[in-house]
Chains A and B, each alone.
Chain A
């Protein structure tokens, strides 16, 4: 099983990198872009020792306790068999 974890800055936290990318896209002439938020992406290979429910709980714990700083970041994740 494989887990994908996405970490982004909270909506209430300004993301200057996202804003810079957004500005660059506009200057380059790309259309239809309203906002850009930059984040981090993790691929975590699981060793098969956990069933799906336990794996979800463990990934959520890893994301909450290590991969994000809850003061500024939030996360979502998905699992793939």
Chain B
């Protein structure tokens, strides 16, 4: 199963994701440059955390116009697996691959700490190795993680069980405690917590690694 990790100018969790896939998950992985349209036949595309294009204008606002995102949109429309982590989640929302937007944290502070997130749906390629209701300890590190969408969108997310992760204790004012959501096809995930930063016991938690294990399981199932 081949993974691709996109590099935008300002990405800073790209190497963490790459390392997790190569060294811990032991799968082939390549970097994908933001100016290229070529996804190099990857089975999974990771849009990593960081500050793509310096977060100028809005988080993810400029990144969504980059050439690679046109290919990611086509890939996702064809059922390809796309995971956006933190800034990657913000970019996927700006690109319209996921609904809603991520606002400034309600407390106006950058938050960097481990948090508990509950798996609300195990019926996704990103969480099939988890139990529904399972609580994972995964770090967050963001200034804009306060998920917002309009009421009809929220109802659709709830009804279709597309809220994949909820915070046990809401750190940032996020609507309905949302920490991660999927698209209707369940092949695109966006999450604010960083599973790649919790993928080995040495890092303080290996519970985020279940997200990567799930992807491997999803590939086998396909």
Contacts and interface: CB of A to CB of B under 8 A. Distances in A.
A72 B104 contact: no
B108 A69 contact: no
Contacts of B150: 12, 71
Interface stretch (A13-21, A25-33, A43-51): A13-21
A60 to B, nearest CB: 17
A17 B100 contact: no
A69 B104 contact: no
Interface string B100-135: 110111111000000000000000000000000000
B100 A71 contact: yes
A24 to B, nearest CB: 12
Given A66-B61, A67-B57, A69-B94, A16 B148 contact: no
Contacts of B22: none
A20 B94 contact: no
B2 interface: no
Given A14-B106, A17-B104, A20-B108, A71 B61 contact: no
Interface residues of B, number: 18
Nearest to B103: A72
Contacts, number: 32
Interface residues of A, number: 11
Contacts of B58: 69
Given A13-B148, A16-B108, A20-B108, A72 B61 contact: no
Contact of A16 (B61, B94, B104): B104
B101 A71 contact: yes
Interface of B: 57-58, 61, 93-94, 99-101, 103-108, 148-150, 173
Given A13-B148, A71-B99, 19 more contacts: A14-B106, A14-B173, A16-B104, A16-B107, A16-B173, A17-B104, A17-B108, A66-B57, A66-B61, A67-B57, A69-B58, A69-B94, A71-B100, A71-B101, A71-B148, A71-B150, A72-B101, A72-B103, A72-B148
